[in-house]
Amino acid sequence: VGTGYVGITTCVILADRGFKVVGIDTDKQRIENLSSGSVPLYEPGIERMLKKALLSKKLEFTTDYSNISDTDVTFVCVGTPPNENGALNMSYVERAMEKLGKELKLKEKYHLVAIRSTLMPGSTSGKLKEILQENSGKKIPTDLGLVFIPEFLREGMAIQDTFHPDCIVIGASDKRSYTRLLSLFRKLYKQDFKSIPIIRMKPVNAEILKVAVNASRAIQISMVNTIADICQKLKEGEISEVTEGLKLIAKLDSRYLGAGLGFGGSCLPKDTRALSFLSSTMNVENTIFESAMKVNKIRIKKLAKEIKDIAGRGATVSILGLAFKANTDDIRESPSIHLIEELNSLGIKVKAYDPYALNRAKAYFDGKVLFEANAERCISESDACIVATAWDEFKKLEPKLFLSLRKKVVFDCRRIYDEKKFKNNGIRLIKIGSFYDNGI
């Protein structure tokens, strides 16, 4: 239930491993697209797997919840976007549980409901259990199983992360639902099953763990970016040398050590805010989470001002990359999008290009930004260029392509270019986390 980034990945992977799967979504257009083999989002490898699954008849899509009664397990993967106050919006999950409950009322056999959506801690054994019992008229855990299994996949790596998870966390209060799920995972992972660590805990702890993992990543990224800013100001300062040490000595997760524009996407900001909100409602100090968010926000403002100082008021700058990171078309809370908004507010005109996120960004900005169909056109007729997403396509761009920039300045916010090569071509490369002469 819910066929977004998490739901589609879950569908195609289960179907690939031989399970019969029905994907349910309330969005009719999405279901039509998926049924005809077209994926309404960009995730490497997923379209090929979808087509294969449709062909094998192992996977089908519908808006009709009544299909649930023919299945044994339901994975709930609907969105939990942030509310204004930082809490996760639980209304989509609540609605899904209500509909699910009504369908399960008619089913005689035991059914397992496994929630994959990120939740406000306390929800599974609290309100969601209540809704499911009330609408189905059944008892948990005797007639129905209810577990929370947090999803840790990263967009852009969804297939790989799902096939090779660091570990599987099962938030289950009773043995029956836990063993049911274990046997499903055994079938899913086959020979790899034994090598995947499995941790069982109470649903509430799994819910806290999920947001805590993202908050700790957000804190790490904000810390590394602050160190990168220090490197930039000190002669011979170089963040990559520092992060090498952080990896080996402080044992920080190397996947979150890339200095850059800051964190974004649909999970890190929202889950950090959710934890901050939760702390504040409990009179628990939330400064640590708020600080990570603040550092993240300030660096965009600071960078926009630096760009304005170099490019000049009224300048035009080109931005390569709109997605919050490479290999996804997701622009939710993308640093690049925030940067464009900040530049616009400083009177800088923006031209932008992204290989996959262009349509989503066009819809978001509604005509306020000029979008180009390729990198070369985007770079032309502008004063400076900002590389905001580390797409492979941008990594391959030759320095001479940037010679058309009036100010001959490139801001490498993803640290993908070689300074010497750019310097030899007469272009000034300003790389986040590396010292540069005329420091700004």
Is 342 a binder of ligand NAD (CB under 6 A)?
Answer: no
Is 136 a binder of ligand NAD (CB under 6 A)?
Answer: no
Give residues 65-94 in contact with ligand NAD (rule: CB under 6 A): 77-80, 92
DSSP secondary structure, 343-383, as one string? HHHTT-EEEEE-TTTHHHHHHHHTTSSEE-SSHHHHHTT-S
Query: How many residues line the site for ligand NAD (CB under 6 A)?
Result: 27
Q: What are phi and psi of 242, to 5 degrees?
A: -70, -45
The residue of the chain with the least Cβ separation from ligand NAD equals: 4
The residue (of 16 and 207) whose beta carbon lies closer to ligand NAD is 207
- Exactly one of 11, 267, 378, 385 is catalytic; name it: 267
Q: Are 178 and 146 in contact (CB under 8 A)?
A: no
Evaluate the omega torsion of the peptide bond into residue 141 and state whether it is cis, within 30 degrees of 0: yes
The residue (of 84 and 398) whose beta carbon lies closer to ligand NAD is 84
Taking the C-alpha atoms of residue 181 and residue 134, their distance in angstroms, rounded to an integer, is: 23
Strand ranges, E, within 134-235 = 144-148, 168-172, 198-201
Element (H, E) at 22: strand 21-24
- Our answer to whether residue 267 is catalytic in this structure is yes
The residue (of 117 and 318) whose beta carbon lies closer to ligand NAD is 117
Taking the C-alpha atoms of residue 264 and residue 260, their distance in angstroms, rounded to an integer, is: 11
**Identified binder of ligand NAD from the candidate list 20, 22, 27, 435, rule CB under 6 A:** 27
**Identified binder of ligand NAD from the candidate list 74, 117, 220, 272, rule CB under 6 A:** 117
Burial class of 139 by CB neighbour count within 10 A (0 to 12, 13 to 18, 19+): exposed
Residues present in the chain in total: 440
Q: Are 276 and 285 in contact (CB under 8 A)?
A: no
Task: Select the span of 147-155, 178-186, 187-195, 415-423 touching ligand NAD (CB under 6 A).
Answer: 147-155
Is 151 a binder of ligand NAD (CB under 6 A)?
Answer: yes
By three-state DSSP, how is residue 15 classified? helix
The residue (of 75 and 353) whose beta carbon lies closer to ligand NAD is 75
The residue (of 263 and 402) whose beta carbon lies closer to ligand NAD is 263
Is 23 a binder of ligand NAD (CB under 6 A)?
Answer: no
List, in order, residues 6 or more apart from 36 with CB less than 8 Å away. Answer: none
CB of 328 to ligand NAD, least distance (A): 8
By three-state DSSP, how is residue 173 classified? coil
The residue (of 153 and 430) whose beta carbon lies closer to ligand NAD is 153
Is 272 a binder of ligand NAD (CB under 6 A)?
Answer: no
**Identified binder of ligand NAD from the candidate list 204, 228, 267, 410, rule CB under 6 A:** 267
CB of 5 to ligand NAD, least distance (A): 4
Is 153 a binder of ligand NAD (CB under 6 A)?
Answer: yes
Q: Which residues contact ligand NAD (rule: CB under 6 A)?
A: 1-7, 24-27, 30, 77-80, 92, 95-96, 116-118, 151, 153, 155, 266-267
Residues known to be catalytic: 267
